[in-house]
Amino acid sequence: MLYIDKTLQFVNRLFVTRHSFIRHSVNRLSLDILIASFAALLAGFVDSIVGGGGLVQVPALFILFPHFSVSQVIGTNRFASFVGTSVAGYQYARKVEVPWRVVCITASGTAVMSFLGATIASHLKAEVLKPLILFLMTAIAVYSFSNKTLGQYERVSVSVVRLQWYALLIGMAMGFYNGFVGPGTGSLLVFGFVSIMGYQFLRASAVAKVINVVADVASLAFFIWKGYVEFDIAFPMMACNVLGAYLGSRLAILRGNTFIRKVFLIVIFGLILRFGYDVWRLLS
């Protein structure tokens, strides 16, 4: 009889401990998803204006879900941000005149070179280019900050044919960068359209956002097919990212080029900090 009583007490303690652990784990997971969703809201807001939402969303996923593989983080991030990017692209296309020929040319170059960049990245570590990228980001920040009128007005002063060649070269360069390195592709697209093609910031953001939608389709299909998307986390993040993208794109259209330029400089500064930290870790 004593043996039975002790056995029952042990089973009861085991059940209570396990129940408490499960409840704690569920509460912890719910809190992590809540924080990740807030990060997605902020990421969608920033990304819809000048790109760079991955600077917020990807680190949040790595910190909150350390057991995720890199592929799971990238796949979940891509799924969470894709619809938000589409919403922002739709908002821009409704309010801003989008040069669709330029979009198609740039997107085709981006798609081809993104695949090539990803292939090379699988054989060569991206760290070897990060000091160069840090230098280029710093140069872009200095140039953009010192040139107060950059992107404030349309300054397209070349022929249509040359403009299309510029679009192809920008698409190829940014596609390779996206496949090989990744972070900040949208912001660099905006800078390319403003500094090389002479677009104002609002039009550059619109074109970059539409190209992002096209470029993300194939990669998102790959991540879903491989099972790298954690849907229980990605869906609430997606909802918040959509809200952030809607608010950000509406605000960008309302406030115009000066506002977008300020956000662009903030994002470039964030990229400098990100790659500066990577280079410091590489050298230490």
Residue 157, both tokens: 């002063």
**Helix spans in the chain (H):** 2-50, 54-64, 70-95, 100-121, 130-146, 160-180, 185-195, 201-226, 231-255, 257-283
Question: In this predicted structure, what is the pLDDT of residue 165?
Answer: 92
pLDDT surpasses 80 at 262 = yes
Binning pLDDT at 50, 70 and 90, where does residue 126 land? low
Task: Tell me the average pLDDT across 97-122.
Answer: 81
Which percentage of the chain shows pLDDT scores above 90? 10
Count the alpha carbons within 13 Å of 253 in the hemisphere toward its beta carbon.
18
Given CA atoms 108, 110, 115, 116 in this order, what sign does their dihedral have?
positive
Model confidence over 136-173: pLDDT tens digits?
888 888 888 888 777 677 777 678 888 889 999 998 88
Instruction: Identify which of 205, 178, 200, 175 has the alpha carbon closest to the alpha carbon of residue 190.
Output: 205
Model confidence over 194-213: pLDDT tens digits?
888 888 888 888 888 888 77
**Can you say whether residue 174 is alpha, beta or left, with left for phi > 0 and alpha for psi between -120 and 50 degrees?**
alpha
Model confidence over 204-259: pLDDT tens digits?
888 888 887 777 776 777 778 888 889 989 999 999 999 999 999 999 888 888 88
pTM over 0.85: no
What's the whole-number average pLDDT of the chain?
79
Question: In this predicted structure, what is the pLDDT of residue 8?
Answer: 41
Binning pLDDT at 50, 70 and 90, where does residue 128 land? low
pLDDT surpasses 60 at 28 = no
User: For residues 137 and 256, what is the distance between their CA atoms, to the nearest angstrom?
Assistant: 24
- Which amino acid is residue 168, in one-letter code? L
Instruction: Identify which of 275, 265, 30, 83 has the alpha carbon closest to the alpha carbon of residue 177.
Output: 275
Model confidence over 176-187: pLDDT tens digits?
887 776 667 888
User: For residues 125 and 75, what is the distance between their CA atoms, to the nearest angstrom?
Assistant: 20
Question: In this predicted structure, what is the pLDDT of residue 247?
Answer: 93
pLDDT surpasses 80 at 40 = yes
Task: Tell me the average pLDDT across 111-124.
Answer: 72
Question: In this predicted structure, what is the pLDDT of residue 117?
Answer: 73
Task: Tell me the average pLDDT across 54-76.
Answer: 84
Binning pLDDT at 50, 70 and 90, where does residue 282 land? confident
